[in-house]
Structure 1
Amino acid sequence: MDEKTEGQLRVIRKVVAALQAADVSAWLFGGWGLDARIGRITREHGDVEFWVERIHAERSKALLLEAGATPLTTQPPEESCEYVWDDVSFSTAYFDRQSDRSFSQPLGRFSDWLFPPGSFGEEPVTLDGTPVLVMSVFGMLAMKEQFPSLRNGRPWRPKDITDMEILRRLAS
């Protein structure tokens, strides 16, 4: 395991510990979320991404700042917050629960993104010995599949296509 991956795993542990101690849930998604679902590290990752329920957005920022993360002002605050912790980049994006049990990100550039019921469960998986919440396979697949058709989406990258193939296999 290289130094960058070790640093990202340390930050995942720190974020989970800081938020869990205050009863704030955070779900991994993106490449690290997929690796957690698979149960092994499959590739190098550019960053670490978490979903946090919007009602906990400000509290999560305060908790992470208090624990040692440095928030950046690079993202629209209604959508997400990027941080640096021990020279590792990570972010928290915000979702809202809908009355039909689905989830969305109704504010900001990706307000047309919808996630199916069950996208944010309470059953952790283990990533490198650490129990972490992870966005569901169906939630991550919905994210990837919708992205090119979103108002502010963009075409799939080769790794997105590979990820969708893996997620579809996991879903079956």
Structure 2
Amino acid sequence: MDEKTEGQLRVIRDVVAVLQTADISAWLFGGWGLDARIGRTTREHGDVEFWVERVHAERSKALLVEAGATALPTQPAEESCEYTWDDVSFSTAYFDRQSDGSFSQPLGRFSDWLFPPGSFGEEPVTLDGTPVLAMSVSGMLAMKEQFPSLRNGRPWRQKDITDMEILRGLAT
């Protein structure tokens, strides 16, 4: 395992630990979310991405900064926050629960993104020996499938196409 991957795994453990002490859940998504669902590291990742329920956005940011992360002013505050912690990049994006059991990001550039019921469950998976929450397979697949058709989306990259194939395999 290379130094970058070790640093990202350390940040995943640290973010989970900091937020758990305040009873705030954070769900991995993106490449690390997929790896968590698979149960092992499958490739090098550019960053670490978490979903946090919007009602915990400000408190989670304050706790992470207090613990040693640096919040960066790079994203619209209503959507997400990017950080660095010991030279490792990570972010928290914010979602809202809807009355029908689905989830959305109703504020900001991706307000047309919808996630199916069950996208944010409370059953942890294990990543590198650490119990973590990860967005559900159906939730991550919905994210990937919708992205090109979103108002501010863009075409799939090859890794997105590969991830969707893996997610579809996990869903069966």
* TM-score after normalising by structure 2: 1.00
Q: What stretches of structure 2 of length at least 5 have no aligned partner?
A: none
Counterparts of 2:40 and 2:82, CA distance in 1: 25
Counterparts of 2:41 and 2:9, CA distance in 1: 10
Taking every aligned residue pair, what percent have the same amino acid on both sides?
A: 90
Secondary structure of the equivalent of 2:57? helix
Name the structure 2 match of 1:21: 21
CA-based RMSD: 0.3
Counterparts of 1:152 and 1:45, CA distance in 2: 23
Counterparts of 1:2 and 1:68, CA distance in 2: 23
Query: How many residues are aligned here?
Result: 172
Secondary structure of the equivalent of 2:107? coil
Name the structure 2 match of 1:9: 9
**How far off its partner does 1:77 sit?**
0.3
**How far off its partner does 1:44 sit?**
0.1
**How far off its partner does 1:111 sit?**
0.2
Q: Residues 116-170 of structure 1, C-alpha deviation per residue, up to 9 Å, x if partnerless?
A: 0000000000000000000000000000000000000000000000000000000
Counterparts of 1:95 and 1:53, CA distance in 2: 5
Q: What stretches of structure 1 of length at least 5 have no aligned partner?
A: none
Q: Residues 70-109 of structure 1, C-alpha deviation per residue, up to 9 Å, x if partnerless?
A: 0000000000000000000000000000000000000000
Counterparts of 1:61 and 1:118, CA distance in 2: 25
**How far off its partner does 1:36 sit?**
0.5
Q: 5 Å matches for 1:18-167?
A: 18-167=18-167
**How far off its partner does 1:69 sit?**
0.4
Q: Residues 33-79 of structure 1, C-alpha deviation per residue, up to 9 Å, x if partnerless?
A: 00000111110000000000000000000110111100000000000
Counterparts of 2:27 and 2:39, CA distance in 1: 15
Counterparts of 1:2 and 1:20, CA distance in 2: 27
Counterparts of 2:132 and 2:98, CA distance in 1: 24
**How far off its partner does 1:23 sit?**
0.1
Secondary structure of the equivalent of 2:16? helix
Counterparts of 1:22 and 1:129, CA distance in 2: 22
